[in-house]
Structures are given as structure tokens and as C-alpha cells.
């Protein structure tokens, strides 16, 4: 079945460092891809998305490019801030089946130190 694999955390960085969180997926259909972020004590919220190959999603300085050839959707940010400390989830949705169901990765905790 469809699945999402993320790099294990926690990822600990100093402020202004470059961030990469790896995400790869397995899907038989034509997935849309998402990054969700969960700040402490809150629910998940959509950070960015991409609906087809080579699309780049971006928001709040974060970017991710839908790479069909490597089945990847890595999250990047050029300069992290302490306020970016959170748990990041990669997810996919099979648009062809259109069930609305999302398949989530296990989440990666990011800790940014001043």
C-alpha cells in the first residue's frame, strides 16, 4: 500500500542554519504531497503542498519540490529560526482514488537553538 518515510529526528540546528528534512514515498496512484507542521500543544496545520511532478510548494520560507523520479518531497529552509521548532509531517493523498484520506509519515522533530 501507499506509504511515507521521513528521516528520524530529532533534528537539532542553530538559528540561521540550513534545514533539510527528507521524505520519500511509495504510491501506486498519482499522489498529491503535503508538509504539515505541528507546534507544541496544537493540531497539525498545512505548511505547503504540491499536486504534480516538478511542482514546488513554498510557504514561510520553506520549500519542497515534488520529484517523481526519486519519489521524494524533501523539505528545505535556508535559515531556520527558533520559532520553527516543531514537528514536521510529510503526507500523501491519492487523487485518483479521491478518498480524502492522507497517509502520514512518522513525523520529524526540529529543535532550533538560539
Q: Is 67 in the site for another protein (CB under 8 A)?
A: no
In the sheet that holds 56-59, the strands lie side by side as 19-21, 75-77, 62-65, 56-59
Please, are residues 62 and 77 in contact by the beta-carbon 8 Å criterion?
Answer: yes
Q: Which of 1, 40, 42, 70 binds another protein (CB under 8 A)?
A: 42
Which x/- pattern, by CB under 8 A, does the window 75-94 give for another protein?
Answer: --------------x---x-
What is the rounded CA–CA span in Å between residue 73 and residue 33? Answer: 7
- The DSSP line for 7-48 is --S-EEEETT--EEE-EEEE-SS-EEEEEEEE-TTS-EEEEE
Exposure on the CB side of residue 57, measured as CA atoms within 13 A: 20
Choice between 42 and 114, CB closer to another protein: 42
- The single residue among 16, 20, 28, 46 that binds another protein, judged by CB under 8 A, is 46
> By CB under 8 A, is residue 101 in contact with another protein?
yes
Q: Which span sits near another protein by CB under 8 A: 17-25, 32-40, 65-73, 78-86?
A: 32-40
Task: By CB under 8 A, name the binding residues for another protein.
Answer: 32, 34, 36, 42-46, 49, 51, 89, 93, 95, 98-102, 104, 106-107
Amino acid at each position: 500500500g501507499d506509504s511515507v518515510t521521513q528521516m528520524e529526528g530529532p533534528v537539532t540546528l542553530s538559528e540561521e542554519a540550513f534545514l533539510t528534512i527528507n521524505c520519500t514515498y511509495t504510491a501506486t496512484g498519482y499522489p498529491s504531497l503535503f508538509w504539515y507542521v505541528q507546534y507544541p500543544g496544537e493540531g497539525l496545520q498545512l505548511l505547503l503542498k504540491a499536486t504534480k511532478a516538478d511542482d514546488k510548494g513554498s510557504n514561510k520560507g520553506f520549500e519542497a519540490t515534488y520529484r517523481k523520479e526519486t519519489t521524494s518531497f524533501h523539505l528545505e529552509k535556508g535559515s531556520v529560526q527558533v520559532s520553527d521548532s516543531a514537528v514536521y509531517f510529510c503526507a500523501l493523498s491519492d487523487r485518483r482514488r479521491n478518498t480524502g484520506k492522507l497517509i502520514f509519515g512518522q513525523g520529524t522533530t526540529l529543535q532550533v537553538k538560539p
